[in-house]
Amino acid sequence: MDGSFTGSRWRRSAPALDADAPRHVGIIMDGNRRWARARGRMPSFGHDVGANHLADVLGWLRVRGVEHVSVYVLSADNIRKRSTGEIHHLFGLIETVLSKAVERAHDWQLHVSGDTRLLPAPARGALAQVVQETRGRPCHLTLAIGYSPHEDIATGIRAALHQGIDPASAEFIGAVSGNLPGGPVKEIDLVIRTGNEQRTSGFFPWQSIHSEIVRSRKMWPAFNEADLDRVLAEYRRRRIRAHSEG
């Protein structure tokens, strides 16, 4: 597998974020299949490496002071449209590799956004176990699994209405945001999309409405620490420019 895990390094105290650094980073992990095919391997190999790589990237973000991360893993459309063999392999990765990757990352509390009823019982159970075991950790990781952007927003709206909040009131928008699944900080500052694609693919549309989107040409399994620093530098450059123009 790509990358190495150095627990002591990841446990270093995270630096305070500067004013132009993102507080909440979103990641669209794209390019697993293309990365594998370029190496003469089956797409499943790319998914294996990509799932394992998440722990590395979480560690890199942690030592840079980022404490809120949302990651697109598997949409409801993916489950419906991809081949049965590929989807079952992804279900297996969620049950084994992905769950263990979160455990390896030490500092991250897991949240899940999406309809986990679309997953088989073993994968659902593995996620529920990690959610329970990581409660109280200082950082927050939200995985979009069985995710539908429309249903995500509808969930927040239904919850706000159930609380009796008037849709015409000034509090309603905040109530919808607060009731969305995921960690405590909802608004995503920076969205990183690997694989050189430009579309957002329905990635947390409510939460990312004010996000900067930065693409990386690297496929997700090849996305390294230097690539992350380049993305963060581009985000800071944009923020500084926005402040100066404002």
DSSP 174-205: HHHHHTSSS-S----SEEEE-TT----TT-ST
Backbone phi, then psi, for 72, in 5-degree steps?
-85, 115
Q: What's the pLDDT at 72?
A: 96
Q: What's the pLDDT at 246?
A: 62
Task: Average the pLDDT over 29-48 and give the result.
Answer: 96
Q: What's the pLDDT at 24?
A: 98
* Res. 167: pLDDT tops 50: yes
Under the banding of pLDDT at 50, 70 and 90, the label for residue 100 is confident
CA distance 24 to 12: 19
* Res. 182: pLDDT tops 80: yes
The angle subtended at Cα 85 by Cα 83 and Cα 90, nearest 5°, is 95
CA distance 81 to 29: 18
**For the chain, percent of residues with pLDDT exceeding 90:** 81
Higher-confidence residue of 175 and 12: namely 175
Length of the chain: 246
Q: What's the pLDDT at 76?
A: 96
E strand or H helix at 39, and its extent?
none
Q: Which of 126, 56, 133 is nearest to 96 (CA)?
A: 126
DSSP state string for 83-123? -HHHHHHHHHHIIIIIHHHHHHTSSEEEEEES-GGGS-HHH
* Res. 107: pLDDT tops 50: yes
Under the banding of pLDDT at 50, 70 and 90, the label for residue 3 is very low
Q: What's the pLDDT at 52?
A: 92
CA distance 209 to 47: 29
Contact 180, 151 (CB under 8 A): no
Task: Average the pLDDT over 21-46 and give the result.
Answer: 96
**For the chain, percent of residues with pLDDT exceeding 70:** 92
* Res. 25: pLDDT tops 50: yes
The mean of the pLDDT values for the chain is 91
β-strand partners of 139? 108
Under the banding of pLDDT at 50, 70 and 90, the label for residue 242 is confident
CA distance 36 to 49: 9
Residue with the two structure tokens 């998440």? 54
* Res. 142: pLDDT tops 50: yes
Under the banding of pLDDT at 50, 70 and 90, the label for residue 114 is very high
Under the banding of pLDDT at 50, 70 and 90, the label for residue 16 is low
* Res. 6: pLDDT tops 70: no
Under the banding of pLDDT at 50, 70 and 90, the label for residue 41 is very high
The residues carrying an active-site annotation are: 30, 78
* Res. 5: pLDDT tops 80: no
